Structure 1
Amino acid sequence: MWTRFAAIPAFELAVWSRQWLGWWCLAAVLAVVVWLWLNVHLFKPVEPTSWAARGIYGEQLHVDAKVPAEHKATLNWLIASGLTGFALIAWGLTTLNIWPLILGTVMVVLAQLWRIDRYGLLFQQHLREQAPDDAA
């Protein structure tokens, strides 16, 4: 997960580099895209023992539509915040304007970190609900 976070500024720099590299910036963009593809295939799935791993397993519950109502509103808000940040990034990269780029990047990263934390809580709740009742 952490290696994918590194792709955010790398992609932004690759796109911004069109100022200096012209069309050659596409090689840098392609390198980031290839890294993101390889990233998924190079690293084996991990046990849910770390904060990040629990977040990844919780995200799978969201994908599988196993999200309790108390988590849905927060997750939807965080997704909307991340999309707003992404729009600011797109604006900043399109116009080569640094402030929307930085603001958008901060919004995307913070929303993603909070979302991963929420997914981790969701995963832990799921494990508690699936655990056999020891009191019986």
Structure 2
Amino acid sequence: MDDDVWARHANPWSGWSRVSILPLFAIAVWSRVWIGWWAMIPVAIVLLWTWLNPRLFSPPASVNNWMTKGVLGEHIWLARGKDRDLAHHAPVIRNLTISTSAGTILLLTGLAVLNVPMTTTGLAITMLTKLWILDRMVWVYTEIGEGSASLA
């Protein structure tokens, strides 16, 4: 994403509505039980929503909300995550990323074998750890970005 898309994605409507993507994806994949190969249509719609979402909203009017700070912090982290002044965040973010990956593997395996407990556990782990990472990105933004991060 370029800086303009990041600015649009920082809109809290974009950030919060993206939280819907994993549950919608799980339902879309699971729908193959009910509608067979037609399930590719809802899967494609969810994938389109994933791409369109950060592009649909205008930049936020203010950065005084948790989601906007989290998205801007993520932008900073992706650009400067190796900086010495951010090094204290790296172990936590690494461990949360490993947990998110484990949850994603569990989610995808559950969807492949149509196992409800595995799917819902993987979904919960993935979403909770992703939100925890986002909370850490708020911290990154608060430490590094306030006053220096622009919205486009």
TM-score, length of structure 2 as denominator length: 0.80
Matched, 1:75 2:93: yes
1:33 Cα shift? 1.0
CA RMSD of superposed structures (Å)? 1.5
The yes-or-no answer on 1:48 pairing with 2:63 is yes
Q: Does 1:14 align with 2:28?
A: yes
> 1:35: how far off?
1.4
Per the alignment, residue 5 of structure 1 pairs with 19
Identity %: 32
**Partner deviation per Cα, 1:65-102 (whole Å, 9 max, x = no partner):** 24511100001111111000000011100000011111
Query: Which structure 2 residue ranges, 5 or more long, are not aligned?
Result: 1-14
In structure 2, the partner of 1:134 is none
* Amino acid corresponding to residue 18 of structure 1 in structure 2: R
Q: TM-score, normalised by structure 1?
A: 0.89
Change (3 A) 1:18 1:117: same
* Deviation for aligned residue 1:41: 1.3
2:111 to 90, 93, 100: 93
Kept in 1, the 8 Å contact 2:100–2:129? The answer is yes
Contact 2:106 2:119 in 1 (8 A): yes
Tell me the distance in 2 between the aligned counterparts of 1:10 and 1:81: 21
Aligned-pair CA distance for 1:129: 8.9
SS in 2 for 1:64: helix
Q: Cα 1:127–1:40, aligned 2, differ >3 Å: closer, same or farther? A: closer
Q: Greater Rg, structure 1 or structure 2?
A: 1
- Higher mean alpha-carbon deviation, 120-129 vs 103-112, is at 120-129
| Cα distance in structure 2, aligned partners of 1:58 and 1:89 | 27
Distance in 2 (CA, whole Å) between partners of 1:31 and 1:128 is: 36
> What secondary structure is seen at the aligned counterpart in 2 of 1:49?
coil
Q: CA deviation at 1:11?
A: 0.7
Count of aligned pairs between the two proteins: 130
Work out whether 1:29 is the aligned partner of 2:43.
yes
